[in-house]
Amino acid sequence: MKAFALLATARYLKQAARLPAAVRRQLAARHGQLAENPRHPSLRTHPVEGALGDLGGKVFEAYVSEKYRLTWEYGPGQGELTLRNVDNHDACLGDP
């Protein structure tokens, strides 16, 4: 399987920079897993119910840790994933 290229919104980059250092280290590991296999079991990836992405497709949630989540969607190009938001569970999914 070919790895996905990860793109990030400005919002994602801003939120990621605000995370505690330990969570940023976990996030870096999750980025690697996400690029290799968005359905990697440790990510526990699933669609965010009722959320439509900016690119017109489904928005997915993945675990960074027990407390933190990231959201992403496929695209805009083939073989690309766009990282949308990263934060604690409730804040992240309040506006995925």
d(CA 94, CA 22): 23
Residue 89: pLDDT over 70: no
For 29-83, the pLDDT digits (tens) are 999 999 999 999 999 999 999 888 988 899 999 999 999 999 999 999 999 999 9
Q: For Cα atoms 32, 35, 41, give the angle at the middle one, nearest 5 degrees.
A: 75
Instruction: State the DSSP code for 76.
Output: S
For residue 82, give both structure tokens: 């766009």
**The domain containing residue 26 runs over which residues?**
5-94
d(CA 48, CA 50): 6
CATH code of the domain containing 33: 3.30.2310.20
Domain count, the chain: 1
Band of the pLDDT at 16, cuts 50, 70, 90? Answer: very high
Instruction: State the DSSP code for 72.
Output: E
d(CA 59, CA 96): 7
